[in-house]
């Protein structure tokens, strides 16, 4: 439950700020790969032992009262065409309390194309069920998307990316690295973030990366 994990970590504290990581959790994951095809399936469940009190989740009409329990599953597959790759994924989670339930679904598609030293990637995801209704209720978006371009020339790699998430936050950035050999790289990046609310932010990083 990749997206759900992000919700629990606080990206949507607006409507679940009292709902932290579960007290008990079990999960299983299966991966299969043959030639150009890859498949993964996961099952996830959790139980929050102590009572929670989230009446009417921010106007959605859903009341999460009592002990929360969650069950979810996800499936993802990809096929590599040699000079490109197509990926599809779907995740589904239901949180149930003594009073009500909340369901979140997320369908996602990704594509990658490789042209000699240039790699182009794009991704698109759409939220559904109660999660999608919640996003639209507050004038967010059911859709998220992003794209990136990476070019490598000898020891130099330059990358450019941009994305917009469900909460209409926009990010764009430029990064570069220089391979020093022996597993060492000089890396640097600058990114500009334009959140739906609040001031724009620009961040930059520079350093040395080591691979052993």
Q: What is the pLDDT of residue 119?
A: 95
Contact 32, 38 (CB under 8 A): yes
Rounded to whole angstroms, the Cα distance separating 181 from 12 reads 42
Give me the residue spans of the domains in the chain: 2-137, 150-212
Sign of the torsion angle spanned by Cα atoms 66, 67, 73, 74 = positive
Sign of the torsion angle spanned by Cα atoms 135, 140, 142, 143 = negative
Please give the helix or strand (H or E) that residue 135 lies within, else none: helix 129-137
Sign of the torsion angle spanned by Cα atoms 26, 125, 163, 207 = positive
Q: 3-class SS at 140? A: coil
> pLDDT confidence of 198, banded at 50, 70, 90?
confident
Asked if residue 142 has pLDDT above 80, the reply is: yes
Q: 3-class SS at 58? A: helix
Residue 195 burial (10 A CB sphere; 0-12, 13-18, 19+): middle
Q: Which residues contact 206 (CB under 8 A, 6 or more apart)?
A: 187, 188, 189
What are the phi and psi torsion angles at 12 (to 5°)?
Answer: -120, 50
Please give the helix or strand (H or E) that residue 170 lies within, else none: strand 170-181
Evaluate if pTM is beyond 0.85.
no
Cβ count near 160 (within 10 Å): 14
Mean residue pLDDT across the chain: 82
Instruction: Indicate the range of 93-107, 115-129, 177-191 predicted with least confidence.
Output: 93-107
Rounded to whole angstroms, the Cα distance separating 191 from 201 reads 8
Q: What is the pLDDT of residue 90?
A: 95
Q: Which residues pair with 186 in a beta bridge?
A: 178, 208
pLDDT tens by residue, 1-42: 444 444 433 343 344 444 454 566 788 999 999 999 999 999
Please give the helix or strand (H or E) that residue 208 lies within, else none: strand 201-210
> pLDDT confidence of 199, banded at 50, 70, 90?
confident
Asked if residue 171 has pLDDT above 70, the reply is: yes
> pLDDT confidence of 209, banded at 50, 70, 90?
confident
Q: Which two tokens stand for residue 156?
A: 């130099």
Percent of the chain with pLDDT over 70: 78
Q: 3-class SS at 117? A: coil
> pLDDT confidence of 95, banded at 50, 70, 90?
confident
Contact 174, 150 (CB under 8 A): no
Asked if residue 173 has pLDDT above 70, the reply is: yes
Asked if residue 110 has pLDDT above 90, the reply is: yes
């Amino acid at each position: 439950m990749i997206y759900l994990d992000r919700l629990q970590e606080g990206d949507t504290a607006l409507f679940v700020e009292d709902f932290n990581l579960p007290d008990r959790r079990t999960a299983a994951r299966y991966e299969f790969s043959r030639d150009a095809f890859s498949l993964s399936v996961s099952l996830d469940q959790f139980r929050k032992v102590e009572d929670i009190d989230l009446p009417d989740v921010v106007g959605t009409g859903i009341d999460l009262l009592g002990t929360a329990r969650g069950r979810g599953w996800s499936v993802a597959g990809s096929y590599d065409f040699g000079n490109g790759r197509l990926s599809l994924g779907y995740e589904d989670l239901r949180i149930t309390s003594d009073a009500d339930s909340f369901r979140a679904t997320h369908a996602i598609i990704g594509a990658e194309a490789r042209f000699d030293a240039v790699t182009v990637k794009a991704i698109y995801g759409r939220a559904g069920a109660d999660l999608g209704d919640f996003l639209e209720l507050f004038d967010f978006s059911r859709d998220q998307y992003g794209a990136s371009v990476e070019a490598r020339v000898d020891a130099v790699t330059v990358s450019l990316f941009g994305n917009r998430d469900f909460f209409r936050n926009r990010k764009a950035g430029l990064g570069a690295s220089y391979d020093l050999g022996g597993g060492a790289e000089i890396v640097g990046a600058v990114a500009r973030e334009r959140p739906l609310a609040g001031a724009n932010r620009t961040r930059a990083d520079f350093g040395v990366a080591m691979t052993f």
